[in-house]
Chain A
Amino acid sequence: MRLEVAIEAKAFRSPSGGLHQALGRLAFGVPEGEVAAIVGPSGCGKTTLMRLIAGLDRDYDGRVTLRPGDRLGVAFQEPRLLPWRTAEDNVRIAAPNATEAALGVLFQRFGLSEHRRHLPGELSLGLARRVSLARALAVEPDLLLLDEPFASLDGATRASLVEAVAEIVACRGMATLLITHDIDAAIRLADTIYALSPRPATIVRRVRIDAPRSRMSPQAAAALAREIGAPP
């Protein structure tokens, strides 16, 4: 396992002093070379879960285990690019050891070759997302965390980005955790899908996708989406 999550509970203290349970008991793992997707209604604590796994919030009960020395690649929900550096520099700063050729391939695959010299303020949200994804992949991560990488994009942009990520994840073979409310993207990308309940989030369903995903028929995918999205 590249990542093992065994969370007992995570609560936030509100300004008024009350405790709000964000996460309940959650246990799952992501093995080498597989893609796991966490899907759930918005506000169910998906981003909270991502922050715990990324090590940005250590105040919780339970354990998140990464392999020591593993490199992490993260694409945040907002692209979080440094606005004072160009698209290319944003990637290079995170991945100083990436070769020119590797960066060239990434920029090419995400359709960013013409935007290398642009500042993030000059990019659309879709392009900024691509830069953020390119940055997460440029570090050649052992574990890739993607938080809603396809949110608020129009249909065509979203579809092309899903395909680009699917292709790169398949050929690199790193462990990937995709957090999304987009069940279709989860079906397209994941080997295992975990559906979360509303707050406090627990796993209500685990769906293993064994069929080669790119060859799954649209009907089968739609049926699966209904199954995952259905109330428990």
Chain B
Amino acid sequence: MGLNLAWRLLSLALLLLCWQIASTASGGNNLPAPWEVLQRIGQEARSGALVHHMAITLGRVVAAFVIAMALGSAIGYAMGRNLLADRLGDPWLVLLLNLPALVIIVLAYIWIGLNEVAAIGAVALNKLPNAIVSLREGAKALDPQYDELAEVFSLPAWTRLRHILAPQLAPYFAASARSGLSLVWKIVLVVELMGRSNGIGFQMNVAFQLFDMTLLLAYALPFVGVMLAIEFLLVQPFERRVSRWRPRAA
């Protein structure tokens, strides 16, 4: 573990070194040095702007993620358990899976307007089909033996959900949540860039208009850092927790 961490830190240090060299070689206009970006992050943080935009973007990420996972789980479960629902829903699902994110975003802004509902809805709709596919697989893999167990002991619906369904679906949910989170935060930036007047994506747009590379990196890097922290501190521990009961592979 300690050695692993040491290698990671070394790798990170190498990246910073390459960045510094590239920055010096290019004269610093197109690629500001790490130190300059860090100073700018400090400035933006002190003025409160960084936290403000970050909080707004995170709020959108959470809202879109929750909506997509909740709807996706319900629809995926229904399709996995019910053949009719699967047959009717599958072509829609294939269509949605292959619809480019940009198309959904533009349509949402045109049809619903340049507002929060359209922004969050478009992001959620982009994630929705992946969640459905994953949970549908989970629902198809449910072991009928445990349904019979619930049947003969007349377990109430809540008990079935909590002790029989949820533990079997959790690995599928966790996998979907993990891939979903990274998809959602990337698309949120695009949505903000195209039609919102705040958030990290909006700041990217400002930086792009001004060709301000330092500003761009000063917003992009802390945001990536926060998303990585969520991945390591929330999503991965959740994944480990739900598969705790499985015997360890030797």
Q: Which residues of A contact B (CB under 8 A)?
A: 54-56, 71-74, 76, 78, 80, 82-85, 89, 93-94, 96, 119, 121, 135, 139
Contact = CB atoms under 8 A, between A and B. Distances in A.
A78 to B, nearest CB: 8
Contact of B146 (A54, A80, A119, A121): A80
Contacts of B35: none
B145 A83 contact: no
A98 to B, nearest CB: 12
Nearest to B156: A96
B247 interface: yes
Contact of A82 (B154, B164, B246, B247): B164
Which bracket fits the contact residues of B? 10 to 19
Contacts of A121: 245-247
Nearest to B149: A80
Contacts of A82: 146, 149, 163-164, 167
A72 B245 CA distance: 28
Nearest 3 A-B pairs (CB), nearest first? A84-B245, A84-B167, A74-B152
B159 interface: yes
B152 to A, nearest CB: 4
20 contacts: A55-B151, A56-B151, A56-B152, A71-B154, A72-B152, A74-B153, A80-B146, A80-B148, A80-B149, A82-B146, A82-B149, A82-B163, A83-B245, A93-B159, A94-B149, A96-B159, A119-B245, A121-B247, A135-B153, A139-B153
A174 B67 CA distance: 50
B155 interface: yes
Contacts of B159: 93, 96
A72 B146 contact: no
Nearest to A51: B148
